[in-house]
Amino acid sequence: MLSYIIRRLLFLPLVLFGITVLIFALVSTLGPWTRVATFVPSPDAERHVNLEAMIKKYHLDDPPLKMYLRWLNNLFHGNLGWSQSSHMTVAEAIGHRFPATLELTLFAVLPVIVIGIILGVISAVHHNDPIDHSTRIFAIVLWSLPDFVLGLAVLMVGFGVLGWFPPGRLSSWAHLEVIKASFRAFTGMYTVDALLNGRLDIFWDALRHIIAPVITLSCLWWAFMLRVTRSSMLDVLNQDYVRTARAKGLAEPVVIKKHALRNALIPVTTVAGNMLLGLMGGVVIVETVFNYPGLGLLTSTAATRLDVPCVVGVALFYAVILVVVNLAVDILYSVIDPRVRLE
Amino acid sequence: MEIIRRLLKNRISLFGLVLLVFFIFVALAAPWLAPPKEGADPYRIPRRGWRLEPTPPSREYPLGLTQGQYDIYYGLVWGTRTAFKVGIIVITFRALIGIILGSISAYYGGLLDEILMRFTDIFMSFPYLIGVVVFVAIFGPGLNNVIIPLICLGWMPYARMIRGNILAIKQEEYVLAARAIGVSDFKIITRHILPNAIFPVLIQASMQIGSIVITVSGLSFLGLGAPEGYADWGQMLSFARNWMLGEQGNVLKYWFTVVYPGLTMVLFVLAWNLIGDAFRDIMDPRIQA
């Protein structure tokens, strides 16, 4: 177990090494100004003043290996270059936007796990009933809604027709409140901060803004979670120990909750890992549709304006999070299921 | 044959098949369904005027004209071709890379296997939509610049799958026999091993066409894929973004700019998912009732 964790931890720098080399190679094919912005975290990169002087000042004419090592060193110090589309350093931009995306992701993950599992269990228990068929069709339809189509539909109906779910992250009055000195920012997640500050009105406003993107983002994963729970539950329900439990006269709810579900949930943990991966991709589109200022919107805006340093910075940031989360899921897996030996 | 018979027997997957056949028909018959102007690039959606505001459906243009007077009907019909083209190209190359790397890895084993699989892990530990966005930011928007990273960042599951299948049959007697009589490695892999390991991978790969098309459309929607005016579903939907809230008092005024392209995409994915779902049940012996 411990040796497995250590091996995975050693693998982490390898992954990051691979990704950085790849990105560095790609960036080297770019024009001089984009390259300057990638390596120089200051507004100088934006004022196209004196290329020669900049190259001299930041030693950008060094041989590639030296450049790569210096860039890597910079990355370790959180120095990711200058973002021309958001007029600040990439590290600052990510710092500003990350809490918004984290908030969105957290709001998306919990309902998925709860609703998905419940529906999956219901579907499996009623195997081949009308209930099973209808949840199944429901799942396939949910699964087939592309996030940007669904997002536009939710926006059109939820905001356009009903006026319930406005786009953005806060209404303008709430935004003015939030930037006041009296409003203390604990986490950067507005719903949490509003509660901690005891401002229910701001909480309500933030909630209204976040619901539509959360629904859009997580729809697909409800379906996925449902399917995985259903098939793993079906698998478990056919096992001998479940038959034994029934044979010794246990009540059906006890059999399902205590004997079957616990084992059926094991594959579900892997889905949770995949889900995070999927959500990270999903936020790019969903945040853009709802104009929700998180990392996803940052990425798509930066990409359409060809702001390479920003996109690269976000990608590296994601890569680190992802490797760590994958590791956590694997370890969790072995904790839940003692049969899994990590070697 | 058995598989097709079972697909036809199940009403849900039959519906999927019918939808898919319809889309294939539209793609093949595009030149007759929406004849392009003589000499013009058929993938460029014709503009029926220069006004920005969308025009509602009329007898002449049954699905209406979206922002910039691009013909929605024409765009959807030719977009079907784009969809299949993109899907098939991406799938073919992904499967090819996956099969080559996977079979080398499984057949030779040892250090080579270890290196190739760690390489696969590195590629797998990256959210691929972000990878595509990085690529596009560096090389500029365009359909090709979306397709290339989608291939490069999507072959890993197939490599793993084919590796697993080959590991299972590598020690079969007919493989050992072939090796014993001195058949070359290349021939053993292509003639004896792959035909017995490739089928599930091909099915899995083709079932991904739906989701690939949607990913590409999503990128076009963000403005990172197909250029303006190119017949691509996602791109058509991105026209709708400025108009979906209608105007004061008539919110749904421009509904057709969202509904038609949106519905097309939903049905396309639905078709693939319905068939894919039925396949999964057919291939999984445990669920057989």
Structure confidence at residue B134 as a pLDDT band (50, 70, 90): confident
* In chain A, domain spans: 2-88, 91-336
Please, which residues have CB within 8 angstroms of residue A80's CB and are 6 or more apart in sequence?
A41, A74, A89, A90, A91, A94, A309, A312, A313, A316
Q: What are the chain B neighbours of A235 within 8 Å (beta carbons)?
A: 286
**CA B112 to CA B119: how far, in whole Å?**
10
Whether residues B258 and A281 touch (CB distance < 8 A) is answered with: no
- Max Cα distance, chain A (Å): 84
**Segment A128-151 mean pLDDT:** 84
Whether the predicted pLDDT of A165 surpasses 80: yes
Mean local confidence (pLDDT), A16-44: 74
Residue B286's pLDDT is what?
Answer: 52
CB pairs under 8 A between A and B: 143
Grade residue B24 by pLDDT with cuts at 50, 70 and 90.
very high
**Interchain pair B287, A231: CB under 8 A:** yes
Q: Do B244 and A152 touch (CB under 8 A)?
A: yes
Which residues of chain B lie closer than 8 angstroms to A290, CB-CB? none
Q: Which residue has the higher pLDDT, A56 or B97?
A: B97
Span B15-20, mean pLDDT?
89
**So what's the pLDDT on residue A338?**
66
B270 in A contact zone (CB under 8 Å): yes
Q: Give tens-digit pLDDT for B140-189.
A: 888 888 899 899 888 888 888 888 888 888 888 888 888 889 888 888 88
Instruction: Give the per-residue pLDDT at A340.
Output: 59
Cβ contacts of B128 on chain A, cutoff 8 Å: 281
Interchain contact, B118 vs A14, CB within 8 Å? yes
Give the mutation candidate from A8, A15, A134, A148 for the B interface (greatest B CB count, under 10 A).
A148
Is residue B289 pLDDT above 60, yes or no?
A: no
Say which of B130, B141, B245 has its CB closest to residue A315.
B130
Mean pLDDT over each residue of chain A, to the nearest integer: 80
Question: Å from A308 to nearest chain B CA?
Answer: 6
Rounded-to-integer distance, Cα B74 and Cα A266, Å: 48
Query: Is residue B52 a contact partner of residue B67, using CB atoms and an 8 Å limit?
Result: yes
Asked if B115 is an interface residue toward chain A (Cβ–Cβ < 8 A), one would say no
Of the pLDDT bands very low, low, confident and very high (cuts 50, 70, 90), residue A119 is: confident
The residue written with tokens 């595509």 in the block is B132
Lowest mean pLDDT among A60-69, A152-161, B113-122: A60-69
pLDDT > 80? residue B128 = no
CATH number of A91-336: 1.10.3720.10
In this structure, which amino acid lies at residue B240? A
Q: Which residue has the higher pLDDT, A186 or B132?
A: B132
Q: Which chain B residue shows the shortest CA-CA distance from A230? A: B287
Q: What percent of chain B has pLDDT over 70?
A: 95
**Residue B194: its pLDDT value, please?**
85
Give me the pLDDT at residue B231, please: 84
Residues of A in contact with B118 (CB under 8 A): 11, 14
Q: Which of A15, A129, A150, A152 to mutate to test the interface with B (most CBs of B within 10 A)?
A: A152
Per-residue pLDDT reduced to its tens digit, A255-296: 888 778 877 777 777 777 778 777 877 888 899 888 888 888
Report the alpha-carbon distance of residue A202 to residue A290 in Å, rounded. Answer: 19
Q: Given this model, what pLDDT does residue A46 score?
A: 58
- What whole-number percentage of chain B has pLDDT above 90? 13
B91 band by pLDDT with thresholds 50, 70 and 90: very high
Q: Which residues 5-24 of B have a C-beta within 8 angstroms of A?
A: 12
ipTM above 0.90, yes or no: no
Q: Which residues lie below 8 Å from residue B259, measured CB to CB, with a gap of 6+?
A: none
Q: What is the pLDDT of residue A321?
A: 82
pTM value is 0.83
From chain A, pick out residues whose CB is under 8 angstroms from the CB of B239.
none
Q: Do A128 and B133 touch (CB under 8 A)?
A: no
Render pLDDT for B47-74 as a digit per residue (tens, 0 to 9): 777 877 777 787 877 777 777 778 888 8
Q: Tell me the mean pLDDT in the region A329-334.
A: 74
Judge whether residue B22 has pLDDT over 90: yes
pLDDT confidence of residue B86 = 92
Question: What is the predicted pLDDT for the residue at B288?
Answer: 46
Q: Please check whether residue B249 touches A, CB under 8 A.
A: no
Interchain pair A152, B246: CB under 8 A: no
Instruction: Give the closest of A153, A289, A307 to B262, CB-based.
Output: A153
Task: Please work out, in degrees rounded to the nearest 5, the angle formed at the alpha carbon of residue A88 by the alpha carbons of A85 and A94.
Answer: 85
The answer to whether A128 contacts B289, with C-beta atoms less than 8 Å apart, is yes
Q: Per the CB < 8 Å rule, is B269 touching A307?
A: no
Q: Which of A144, A234, A317 to mutate to test the interface with B (most CBs of B within 10 A)?
A: A144
Which residue, A300, A270, A276, A306, is CA-closest to A287? Answer: A300
